[in-house]
Amino acid sequence: MQSALVTIYQLIRQHIHLIKRFSLLLLSSITLTACGLTSVEGFHVGFDRDDSLIVIKNTDIFEQCKPAYSHYESKESDYFFGVRCSFENTAPPDSFEIVYAIWPNDDIDFECFFGEEVWRYEPGESNIYTSADGKRVSKEEWMTLGNENLNKAIAQLPGSAWQTYTVDVKSTLKKYKDKTPEGNPMGIAIPIGWGIYYPSLFPSLQDRIIQFDLLIDKEGNVKLKEDYRWENELQGNPYS
């Protein structure tokens, strides 16, 4: 009888020891998970150029989210035709607004404000540029005059032409809190059989990023996609 009690006591001690070890491992996983951060990389506003162009006002948000400028737009531009920007490791506001207007597609835009460009394919021949008022000009003059005409036309848009879309950053970050980009709970990722899961330390240590992609159609409707992924994803990486 005494021998049986000793055996039961030893089994209980072994189980308690295993529970303590697993608890410590789980606590370590939770602690290390907190090291992985979720940040907002930036946002992109796109459109279908065959349908229409989208003019984006250069508002205060672009002082925080730095745009990538095209060859005809500068930091001093009052607008962008679509835009891609990055917060460059700075925290975004809880929400921000995109102010935009619908604009004619490329063909109409160039015909009305730039004029005509005739391509010459013979060796040594240059393209022929005609301004919107019918004058023969150089390529540089053609671009300058076209952009001046474009700026004047956009400046004359009535207030009713501009629309606003709000991106709720705070709610988005809350939605993905404690979740991996695959939708799994943070820190529990590796099944080892019989319904048992081993706390996964390494995936949760990776930082995660969110990119907002906005697609605006010719009616002004906005489709928002939240691109939530591991930072610096590598092909074949088992944790991405």
pLDDT tens for residues 191-221? 555 554 444 455 556 788 999 999 999 999 9
Average pLDDT taken over every residue of the chain: 78
What number is the average pLDDT over the span 1-13? 51
175-201 burial string, b = 16+ CB within 10 Å, else e? eeeeebbeeeebbbbeeeeeeeeebbb
If pLDDT is split at 50, 70 and 90, which confidence band does 236 have?
very low
Measured from the Cβ of residue 41, the count of other Cβ atoms closer than 10 Å reads 19
Q: Give Cα separations from 228 to 83, 180, 196 (angstroms).
A: 20, 9, 28
pLDDT tens readout for residues 45-81: 999 988 889 999 999 999 999 988 654 556 667 888 9
If pLDDT is split at 50, 70 and 90, which confidence band does 37 have?
confident
Q: 25 and 199 in contact (C-beta within 8 Å)?
A: yes
Give ∠ CA 93-95-99 in degrees, rounded to 5: 110
- Predicted local distance difference test score (pLDDT) of residue 50: 84
| Phi–psi pair at 126, nearest 5 degrees | -105, 155
Q: 136 and 163 in contact (C-beta within 8 Å)?
A: no
- Predicted local distance difference test score (pLDDT) of residue 189: 47
Q: What is the pTM of this model?
A: 0.70
CA dist 1 and 9 (Å) reads: 12
